[in-house]
Structure 1
Amino acid sequence: MQPMTELDAETLRDYYRTFARVEATDTSPIYTAWAEGVAADDEIIARLLALPRPKRQANLLFAAARHLGAGERSYADLRSWLLEHWTQTRDLMLARSTQTNEAGRCATLLPALSRIDGPLALIEVGASAGLCLYPDRYSYRYTITEAAGPATSACTAEPDPARTVRLDPSSGPSPVLIDCELSNASAPRGLPDVAWRAGIDLNPIDITDAREREWLRSLVWPEHDVRRERLIAAAALVAEDPPRLVRGDLLETIEAVLAEVPASTQPIVFHSAVLAYIGAEARAEFETLMRSREDVVWISNEGAQVLPDIGAQVEAGASGGHAADGRFVLAVDGEAIALTGPHGQSYEGLADREHA
């Protein structure tokens, strides 16, 4: 193992400070305090640095600790628990990954999907358990607002019926109802016609396995009760008709899965909060591949820094009032069209890029 340097430690401390300030603030007081605590804790930082780089993530550390029984108390309590149970925590972090499967993101994908003529063939990269492969099986309630603003935990306020649009599957209201604030955009006209669906993941999660569902629940942040309830409902729905999930690296697997797409369907490749977990070179290679496939519609929903060419479009429009503020950038075929809440809680269309 390479010796740890002060530069390594400071980089990790800065990551945890940024996580607290940008991702957790205003949405999880517990994770904000925990991340700030880790950033200032030399001993925990040293233990994290002994792990492979992808395993040092705040979401993974905090989910593993809660999964193993650390509770949801102060950072001092977490620290004491981690020092006592570090071996078990480390082993779980090495065995698991942050495969948060947030069905709520379908609300921010739907405005793009609803504009594409079907029938559609959906391929999700980084599918986890595949809950986002079922945008046609969920109900949605869009609350029209003046501006979505920075990401918050969820749309938990009681919606104003005069300013809401509800969409249900043709079979009737779904047990999964997803709320989303919508600004500077028109509400989707309907749900997509999905004829075929498949997902790709390095470690697909079997949603019919109770232990796997429990890990997914641990990945939901402590205060996010609405998300937790939605996960339980979506998991039950999808378990009745599990998706085809292909184990493999996205670059090595995507072409083979695309070759399976039925004739007379429109292939859609999409992903949310996935590409940040692979290297910059692989991200660039994947982007090049997607741009080269004129037969495929590519929908990306990632952090503003993950795909620099797309993120730059938001920066270019920032003077007009748009800033990511911790939100994702939704893009279709490389064109940024909206800023979205990381858990699907908001959708703000970008001026001059929303097409009715």
Structure 2
Amino acid sequence: MSLSEAFAAQADTCTRMDSPFMGQLLTILAADWPTDSALGRKFAGFTGDIGPAGHSLPLRIAGGLHALVLSNAAPELARLYPPHRATDAALRAGVLAALEAHQDFLLDWVSSPPQTNEVRRSGALIAGAHVALQHFDLPIHLSELGASGGLNLMWDQYALDVDGSRFGPEMPAVLLSPEWTGAPPPKASPDIAERAGVDLNPLDPTRADHLLRLTAYLWADQPDRLRMTRAAASIATTPPEQGDAIDWLGPRLASAPQGRLHLIQHTVAWQYFPAAVQARGTALIEAAGAQATAHRPLAWLSMETDGDTTGKVGAAVTLRLWPGDLTLDLGRADFHGRWVKWAYAG
């Protein structure tokens, strides 16, 4: 895939995911990327997959441009970004000028891959945790793999609205209202006794530079995502630890206390682990599950792609429970949490 093709493909994806501005921006970059510049030469030096499953170069530069807007470093560019509406010609001129004027910042920015912390995925986590508590009603010992900035570790502080029924606190930091199909999840009263997460490149949302990175990769014409991320960051208490997810999980499984439900969660993270790491992680969790008891149960809640393209493109929401090794197909969810197709009616 050429860089121009990668920009065009990402433009199409963003447009289909309700971001016409990103479609417009990336279409411009597909046609007018400055190949004869330091940025152009840096991008030309990347090898392998440069699309969303690899280096994700289009989203790297889009995030860098949005960071300039959010940090007020490029006021001329900001006047062309949502909520303003710019013509193709005006946006093209403004973007090319920003690429040149802020090249040093952007060269540094694009050295790291995109990183977000999609708070709306917590809708599926809230519902899945309620199912787990239906089986083991105990305080929760929560572990998140690929936790990014740890915002989804705080799902007990958010509320899920399903057809007017609220699941969560009366005064939540974030109210999640996905398009919901199916029965509502079971009622429960989660008590997270302890929470922790891990990421190869963890971000601390209480730091301004880290929060900028989390918000810059949100799409400028989707202000609800930006609002939710900032609201979640304002109450975040548990920045993730740095490390390999499975190396970190081993001691955590071994030290999980009695009288707690150890809930392992991950959303759109496991699918990026190398196959050998996935196999090692599965074996580790299943071995711990084999040792689980009713007083020290284990739950594995995942929201990950399963390759199903027969309906809406999204992720499978699955829950495994021990003792008993029960696997529950809870349904499917949009990668950004916009909709949930709930299948569990137990």
TM-score in same-fold range (> 0.5): yes
| Residues 149-196 of structure 1: per-residue CA shift (max 9 Å, x gap) | xxxxxxxxxxxxxxx212332xx4223222122102323413422221
- Deviation, 1:84, is 4.7
Counterpart CA distance in 2 for 1:13 and 1:289 is 42
Counterpart CA distance in 1 for 2:208 and 2:141 is 28
Kept in 1, the 8 Å contact 2:60–2:114? The answer is yes
Counterpart CA distance in 1 for 2:43 and 2:278 is 25
Kept in 2, the 8 Å contact 1:136–1:191? The answer is no
Q: TM-score, normalised by structure 1?
A: 0.74
- Deviation, 1:269, is 1.4
Which stretch has the larger CA shift, 225-234 or 64-73? 64-73
Q: TM-score, normalised by structure 2?
A: 0.76
Look up the SS of the partner of 1:297 in the other structure. Answer: strand
The letter for the 2-side match of 1:120 is I
- Deviation, 1:107, is 0.8
The verdict on how the C-alpha distance between 1:176 and 1:188 changes in structure 2, with shifts beyond 3 A counting, is same
Indicate the structure (1 or 2) with the bigger Cα radius of gyration.
Answer: 2
Please, which runs of 5 or more residues in structure 1 have no aligned partner?
1-8, 144-163, 305-310
The verdict on how the C-alpha distance between 1:26 and 1:211 changes in structure 2, with shifts beyond 3 A counting, is closer
Counterpart CA distance in 2 for 1:276 and 1:60 is 20
The verdict on how the C-alpha distance between 1:203 and 1:29 changes in structure 2, with shifts beyond 3 A counting, is same
Counterpart CA distance in 1 for 2:125 and 2:224 is 19
- Deviation, 1:268, is 1.5
Please, which runs of 5 or more residues in structure 2 have no aligned partner?
69-73, 293-297, 321-326
Look up the SS of the partner of 2:157 in the other structure. Answer: coil
1:303 counterpart residue number: 305
Look up the SS of the partner of 1:27 in the other structure. Answer: coil
Counterpart CA distance in 1 for 2:96 and 2:256 is 49
Counterpart CA distance in 2 for 1:303 and 1:21 is 20
1:104 counterpart residue number: 120
| Residues 289-344 of structure 1: per-residue CA shift (max 9 Å, x gap) | 4444424322221234xxxxxx3xx46xx4xxxx242x222222376432212222
Kept in 2, the 8 Å contact 1:197–1:244? The answer is no
Counterpart CA distance in 2 for 1:299 and 1:106 is 12
2:265 counterpart residue number: 270
Aligned equivalent of 1:20, options 3, 6, 11: 11
The verdict on how the C-alpha distance between 1:120 and 1:30 changes in structure 2, with shifts beyond 3 A counting, is same
Q: CA RMSD in A?
A: 2.8
Kept in 2, the 8 Å contact 1:135–1:192? The answer is no
Look up the SS of the partner of 1:30 in the other structure. Answer: helix
Counterpart CA distance in 2 for 1:291 and 1:34 is 45
Aligned equivalent of 1:92, options 87, 101, 109: 109
Look up the SS of the partner of 2:252 in the other structure. Answer: helix
Aligned residues: 303
Mapped pair 1:255 → 2:250: yes
1:58 counterpart residue number: 58
Q: Which has the higher contact order (CA 8 A, sep 6+)?
A: 1
1:190 counterpart residue number: 188
Counterpart CA distance in 2 for 1:112 and 1:195 is 18
